[in-house]
Amino acid sequence: MLTNYLKTAWRNLLRNKFFTLINVSGLAIGLAVGVMILLWVDNELSYDRFHQHASAIYAINARVGAGSGEQVWPGTPAPLAVFCRQSIPEVADVVRICPRGDQALVSFGDKKFPETASAYIDPSFFRIFSFDWIEGQREHPFADNHSIILTQSTAKKFFGDQPAQGKVLQIGNSPFRITGVLKDFPENSEIRYDMLFPLSLYASQFQGNGDWKTIDEDLGNYFYTTYLLLKAGSSPERVAVKLTQLYRNKRKNEPEVQHNSFELQPLTSRHLVTPDGNRSALQMVQIFFLVAVIILIIACINYVNLATARSIIRSREVSVRKIIGAAKYQLFLQFIAESALLFLLASILAVLVIYLLLPTYNELSGIHLTISFTESRVWMVVAFAVGGSLALASVYPALLLSSFQPIQTLKGKLSARLGTITFRKVLVVTQFVFSVGLIISTLVVSRQLTYLRDKDLGFDKEQVFSFYLRGEMHDHFEAARNDLMKQPGILGVGVSDNALTNLQGNSTGDAQWDGKQAGRMFIVHVNGIDKDLIPLLRMQMTEGANYTGSPADSLHFILNETAIRQAGIHDPVGKPFSLWGNKGTIIGVMKDFNYASLRMPLEPVVFYYDRTGWCVFVKTTARDASKAIAAARQVWRQYTPDFPFSYSFLDDEFSRLYDSDQRTAVLFRSFAVIAVLICCLGLVGLATYTAQMRTKEIGIRKVLGASVPGVIRLLAREFVILVGMGIVIAAPIAWLAMNSWLQQYAYRTQISGWIFLTAGLVAILLTILTVSFQAVRAALANPVSSLREE
């Protein structure tokens, strides 16, 4: 029976090659794109879910400050781990991670490489996380403070395919024995390092003096990422309340920190949800999932439309089958088999398309997807896409075709209801609601990115490159600066403690001024700069003056407008200001400039004087840029010959803040084009069918004097009206969706009316072009031939 169904289905597909080609093409494109998007969505949602206890692992976030100055940090004080171990029974285990700031030279024999991503960790790291070991013991990761664990690729750089455990690396001036080798951290993990050191090594660097004696007492340094493994049934909210209370009790004599609190965030949400609860990345994943479903639906609608449109042509076939004894369920299975065979052909073609497009798709999306049918998740995604589409597209046409009444059909009395004309129109409108919505979204995203690219950030970032100093060059920076200024193509050199895009990396609440409310925690971003940085970047001062380079500058501060406004300081120049207990005077107010993504509102910044910072900014010209870089490299090699020279242009650094948005724009454009292409394929099929069904009508109209343009208008008018309805419905839906998307930006463009007009015109023009080809063929046909046909 099944063989007979498949043979009959195959003959029907071959008999109608044109419609088979349209259906297979539309479905193959829809399935290929849908599967690739769904694989990306699955990858984004899979981050850190591979850990054995993933659902019970939480990161601690700190909420500090109050009112307009409140911030949420992913860093926490180290003693929170002690609190958890000693006083919170719901916590099964805890680990702290502290990134290493001193990137030293790593050597083994004649092989030397600069230290890459590395961190200090507690040994419990390997009890909580399920990263795979190649060499060493998970239970005893470190033998002593001078132990180190490498990833597989890092070990291979030094030792090739030889075992690494037990060998000694020279890191800076200290030897470290390798006690373990891990498989490379998975790409779908937020935790990724090349080298791991024991946290006890970092702890040993505390000298036992100052405000905090050890890292287990240092409640003022929010530099550690802390993860908890909770016991089954434990409430993360209750654990957070206990942590907050323990912290406040330890600092009960400090009123300014009594409003600080801690929250627990699931490990599995860290990739898509920021510590402060911003869900824009998760929202984008949800949008792309919706886009995948939309493209699959559009492809399915094409199939349903063509199948139902051709139902009248196949009604006699169905009626004859029923008269000779075919049951309704047999006919239903026959048409399901026909759909399944067509979907099989489309799926095979879709797999070929995926393999061809995957490298380009990876480049556009900025990820590294691979298709391996040995992975269960790939089969799940494919099953969802193909199975769901098959069910959506095949059931209704099969029910419709198997429900014809044979006597009425053979008498030529097929009911118009069975042609489901209204239903087909609804489907066409639905297709273009989706397509026009994607076009509008693409235009809005592109306009927002253009706005971000062209917005004045408040300083001159053009033709400025920067690089970080290392030991010798930092220690002799004035000599190095003089060498740089002598080089051709270099117009100026300035220095700061941090890159401009990393000002948020150094924040403090230890700031005082006259009139500050008692107990208020005021969080500011802090950066040390020299006297040359402000003029080099053409930053503007609204009050006061820049640093002069004199020794007195060590007692001077410059604040941005936001800091002055939030602090409530009136006539700030000359007023006293204290940072980290260092008392000084405000000598200037800098006009606000954007140092972070324009998704974020401006926050307070305080500049102090530091003529020997770590980040060097070099101003050059477009013509002399290569000479300036070569000159900087030459000076670098004089002081740090063992380290490669690495630099970046300031405009590139700020562009990278929007890499994900740029990729989103490109993908949206691509998906919009694909959606419209699939819609047009469907219109080609429907226009062909319509022309076939109205052959005699067209012949009569031409005999009575109808012109070719008149016939074209006749056939195209219905489709243009349907597309127009789709535009009217899509416009408000797209406006609501994109307006919500724009809210994630502190600085955003407006959604103008021309965007909707452009999207509508594009859709209508494409519809006219698509339908006109078949309309012209029908209009140019000989009316005598069409009237002679029976």
pLDDT in tens, 577-613: 988 888 889 999 999 888 777 777 788 889 999 888 7
> Given a cut of 80, is residue 18 above it in pLDDT?
no
What CA–CA distance (Å, rounded) separates 309 from 688?
Answer: 11
- SS3 for 744-759 is CCCCCCCCCHHHHHHH
Structure tokens at 122: 């507690």
Name the domain boundary from 269, 304, 331: 269
- Please indicate, yes or no, whether residues 154 and 232 belong to a single structural domain of this protein: yes
Residue 758 placed within a domain: yes
- Please indicate, yes or no, whether residues 196 and 65 belong to a single structural domain of this protein: yes
Residue 9 placed within a domain: no
What are the helix (H) ranges across 402-508? 406-410, 421-454, 471-475, 477-485
- Please indicate, yes or no, whether residues 519 and 564 belong to a single structural domain of this protein: yes
Name the domain boundary from 598, 631, 656: 656
> What is the four-CA torsion angle of 563, 567, 570, 575, rounded to 10 degrees?
-80
Helix 280-309 / helix 328-365 crossing angle, nearest 10 deg = 140
Is the distance from CB of 185 to CB of 191 less than 8 angstroms?
yes
Domain of 126?
56-269
- Please indicate, yes or no, whether residues 225 and 365 belong to a single structural domain of this protein: no
DSSP-derived 3-state class of residue 501:
helix
Q: Which residues pair with 180 in a beta bridge?
A: 149
Residue 6 placed within a domain: no
What CA–CA distance (Å, rounded) separates 550 from 528?
Answer: 15
650-656 contact pairs (CB < 8 A, 24+): 650/461, 650/462, 650/464, 650/465, 650/466, 650/500, 650/617, 651/461, 651/462, 651/464, 653/466, 653/499, 653/500, 653/501, 654/457, 654/461, 654/501, 655/453
Structure letter (DSSP) for residue 255? G
pLDDT value at residue 416:
43
Higher-pLDDT residue of 411 and 747 is 747
- Please indicate, yes or no, whether residues 450 and 542 belong to a single structural domain of this protein: no
Q: Where residue 131 falls among pLDDT bands split at 50, 70, 90?
A: very high
pLDDT value at residue 5:
52
Work out how many domains the chain is built from and give that number: 4
> Given a cut of 80, is residue 411 above it in pLDDT?
no
Higher-pLDDT residue of 558 and 508 is 558
For 689-711, write each residue's pLDDT tens digit. Answer: 666 556 666 666 666 666 667 66
- Please indicate, yes or no, whether residues 719 and 740 belong to a single structural domain of this protein: yes
Give the residue carrying structure tokens 């609804």: 426
Name the domain boundary from 621, 656, 691: 656
Strands (E), 28-103: 57-64, 71-73, 91-99
- Please indicate, yes or no, whether residues 482 and 575 belong to a single structural domain of this protein: yes
- Please indicate, yes or no, whether residues 230 and 319 belong to a single structural domain of this protein: no
- Please indicate, yes or no, whether residues 426 and 405 belong to a single structural domain of this protein: no
Residue 4 placed within a domain: no
| pTM, to two decimals | 0.81
- Please indicate, yes or no, whether residues 672 and 774 belong to a single structural domain of this protein: yes
Structure letter (DSSP) for residue 523? -
Q: Where residue 419 falls among pLDDT bands split at 50, 70, 90?
A: very low
Structure tokens at 780: 């140019």
pLDDT value at residue 418:
42
Residue 631 placed within a domain: yes
Structure tokens at 83: 């609190």
- Please indicate, yes or no, whether residues 431 and 511 belong to a single structural domain of this protein: no
Is the distance from CB of 469 to CB of 481 less than 8 angstroms?
no
Single-letter amino acid code for the residue at 233: G
Residue 3 placed within a domain: no
Residue 2 placed within a domain: no
> Given a cut of 60, is residue 394 above it in pLDDT?
no
Residue 150 placed within a domain: yes
- Please indicate, yes or no, whether residues 742 and 615 belong to a single structural domain of this protein: no
Q: Of 144, 167, 141, 145, whose CA–CA distance to 154 is shortest?
A: 167
> Given a cut of 90, is residue 456 above it in pLDDT?
no
